[in-house]
A and B are shown apart, each in its own frame.
Chain A
Amino acid sequence: MSRRGIPGRRNSAYFFLAPAAAVLLLVLTFPIVESVRLSFFEWQLRAIRQPPTFVGLRNYAELFASENFRQSILVTIRFSLSVVIIELILGTVFALLLEGDQVKGLRFFRTLYVLPIMIAPVVVGIMWRFMYHPSYGKINWFLSLVGISPVGWLSDPNMAMYSIIIADVWQWTPFVFLLVLAGLQGVPKDLMEASVVDGANYLQTLVSIKLPYIAAILGLTAVLRLIDSFRSLVVIFNMTFGGPGVSTEVLSLHLYKTAFTSQRLGLASAVAVVLLLVVFSFSGVLIWRAVRQEGR
């Protein structure tokens, strides 16, 4: 029997992986390449049947000359870094409090705690918009009980950013909590017992055993949340639509408005490319650090 035509073990692996790799390449790479290509063209949504006009780097020049766009980058970075740091801290604290089975009903609270992740973002946006309502919102009502006058949660440019950060933290802290909790369950019990026998207190076990064990998971969680928060759109869309002024206009919302309000698809593609670069540069640093830690 001739062996010709029968692929070797390595070749057969490539052979079977090829369709999936081709689909992935097409689905992942094509839209990115197309976005980058389109960012060098002027193409209007209302004239979508007409061919795009090549304009070189003009879209990028226009973007960086735009005060609203520069403001939008700052808003995005401020929002993303704030929510990721707060969610990591809170998620870790809650996971440490709710790990183990010392307290009765812990399982119930764990389940209850992850409910916000299950709610559709559009519902979260509308729900928080109502809660923040200056006249009928629950939050101002509670404040009024202690004699505090109504706060313009979404209408005050100085407050609106904090308001959307609170909503995001409320929804996504449970995600961090779940991952950290899973990580904590991987901490070897014998090691914990040995540390207790050696007389280590809670703080010492936390700093010397638990945190080093979950460091990789924390890194991964940070990357996932950072990427996700840079792309946040639906909740902010429903809560403020970028206002007051442009004080909560994150890059993804700026992109939406450029594509569908201004109807400039080429310029919107340039925004998308910048957004991709911002996400890539921030998450790249975190991934690089995580890989280095793994290497050690």
Chain B
Amino acid sequence: MRSSRFFSVFCLLLITAALAFAGGGREAAPAAAPAATGEFDWQRYAGTTVVFNFPNHVHYNAMIEAGVIEEFEELTGITVEVDRMQYLNMHDSQVLEMSRAQGDYDLISMVVMWKAEYALGGMIRPLQPFFDNPSLAVPGYNFDDLVPGYVEVTGIAGGDNIYRNGPGAELYGVPFGSETSFMIYRTDIFDEYNIPVPRTYAELTEAARRVYQEVPGVYGLTMRAASGHHATHAWLLHASPFGARVFDDNWEPVVNSPEAIETIEFMLQMLDYGPPGMVGFTQDEEFAAFLQGDAAIYLDASVFAGPAKNPRVSRVHENLGFALHPSARTPLSQTGGFGIAIPANSRNPEAAFLLMQFLTMPETEEKIIRAGGAPFRMSSLNNPALQAEYPEFAVLAEQLKVANPDWRPIIPEWGEINNMLGIAINQALTREKTPQQAMNDVMGPIRQVMVRAGYLD
């Protein structure tokens, strides 16, 4: 009796341990695909394992669907372990991993707003020494073909301008899942109701109003606005063309300027003409409202073109028009999204660099585009054959001419300010406070952060 009880306990422990270990491991990408050949020695780091941390995001999902990870494994003999997360949760995990003497991540995808924090904190490696090493730099990679605005916003940090190009700046990342902003609209609705495609914010407001008032069951613009990061993102997206800024040239906060308030007032109008509950929308909900046909206009990250055209997720994929981000005082669009970088404490930085180059090579880029990913090379955007197949590319190429790399001050302290600002903007959008009151109230806390960080006295 006693021995059978011990046996039962032993079996239970065994099953528990098996379940724990079976479920706890990272998702390993299976090998497949035929090997590519070439003069470059891709097999130099065969047998090593690279851990790649990236988000559950349109572009990275397309990367998986395109099977390029398996191709890389076949080509190089390097095993890639993938660690996929919700994008806003990656930061905690990455900071904790990169704070250790030796971390588990070899390649990370970072949201551009974390770039300066990681680079200035010594958590990611400068990439120039890798590109200068002939045994590591892939011939024909053509770095200059990467969209310059994306390179600056995702990869350049340090130096006098902290998060922008300038004296002392270095390259820390390359664009992968990068974006600007543009507009997607429902051609069927715009044609039927004779609504002109908006070129200015005044026209956009009018278009949203007409859709709301004239089209049964369809709302105007879909927008993210949830408290915190999403509200800040939405505000900055519109603040840039309205001429509003977070700081003046001396790092004094100016978020209560007339332009900043005008931006919030525009957003309040969009909430009136938007789907119910939009003030609590995250990015996923913003997307869903357009994909389900509830909203006729989308104005945000350009990577959304992939899902919008995908018949498996989009009810409106046959009626899409693409247009430039409307102009207010200036015609500026955002630059953002993701870049990939190598942690300073990576165990296999050279193998990670090979993966970084493979993923961003022109041949790989085309495969990812065809699986629904976003272009990040000028040659693709300007390729007439691709432009014919992907009508948004021509708009994107035009939009990138006015993409603003300074639309969001991504200093290392941005995370804290982003949250404060997002709460204040959301309080204005829920009408808990007036726009002026909300932005006046957040000025002091932002200034305190800047004083503590040494930007201000």
Contact = CB atoms under 8 A, between A and B. Distances in A.
B429 to A, nearest CB: 8
B277 A68 contact: no
B389 interface: no
B95 interface: yes
Interface of B: 91-92, 95, 99, 117, 121, 123, 226-228, 275-281, 285, 288-289, 292, 294, 412, 415-416, 418-419, 423, 426-427, 429-430, 432, 441, 445
A260 B114 CA distance: 12
Contacts of B412: 46
Contacts of A243: 226-228, 280, 423, 426
10 contacts: A45-B95, A46-B95, A46-B121, A133-B277, A134-B278, A135-B292, A241-B228, A244-B426, A260-B92, A263-B95
A208 to B, nearest CB: 45
Given A152-B279, A153-B277, A244-B279, 12 more contacts: A45-B95, A48-B95, A135-B294, A155-B279, A157-B427, A241-B226, A242-B423, A244-B227, A244-B280, A245-B432, A246-B423, A262-B416
A247 B117 CA distance: 29
Nearest to B295: A135
Contacts of A140: 276
Contacts of B441: 67
A243 B281 CA distance: 11
Interface string A52-74: 00000000000000111000000
B289 A155 contact: no
B284 to A, nearest CB: 10
Given A244-B432, A245-B423, A263 B280 contact: no
A219 interface: no
A205 to B, nearest CB: 42
Contact of A150 (B276, B280, B288, B289): B276
Contacts of A2: none
A255 to B, nearest CB: 13
Nearest to A244: B430
A66 B442 CA distance: 11
Contact of B277 (A155, A261, A263, A264): A155
A66 B423 CA distance: 13
A49 B275 CA distance: 47
A263 B416 contact: yes
A134 B276 contact: yes
Given A135-B294, A257-B419, A262-B416, A244 B275 contact: no
Q: Among A154, A257, A263, find the residue whose CB has the most chain B CB atoms closer than 10 A.
A: A263
A98 B294 CA distance: 45
A263 B276 contact: no
Contacts of B227: 240-246
Nearest to A137: B277
Nearest to A256: B92
Nearest to A262: B416
A246 B228 CA distance: 9
A244 B422 CA distance: 10
Contacts of B280: 134, 152, 154-155, 240, 243-244
Contacts of A193: none
A47 interface: yes
B121 A135 contact: no
Interface in A146-199: 150, 152-157
Nearest to A156: B430
Contact of A68 (B95, B423, B429): B423
Interface string A224-267: 00000000000000001111111100000000010011111000
A183 B281 CA distance: 45
A242 B228 contact: yes
Contact of A47 (B121, B288, B415, B419): B121
B294 A45 contact: no
A155 B430 contact: yes
Given A67-B441, A241-B227, A263-B416, A150 B427 contact: no
A135 B95 contact: no
B432 A134 contact: no
A156 B412 CA distance: 32
A170 to B, nearest CB: 20
Contacts of B228: 241-243, 261
A150 B418 CA distance: 30
Nearest to B122: A49
Contact of A244 (B99, B292, B427): B427
A245 B121 contact: no
B376 to A, nearest CB: 27
B427 A134 contact: no
Contact of B445 (A66, A241, A247): A66
A241 B229 CA distance: 11
A134 B219 CA distance: 13
A72 to B, nearest CB: 11
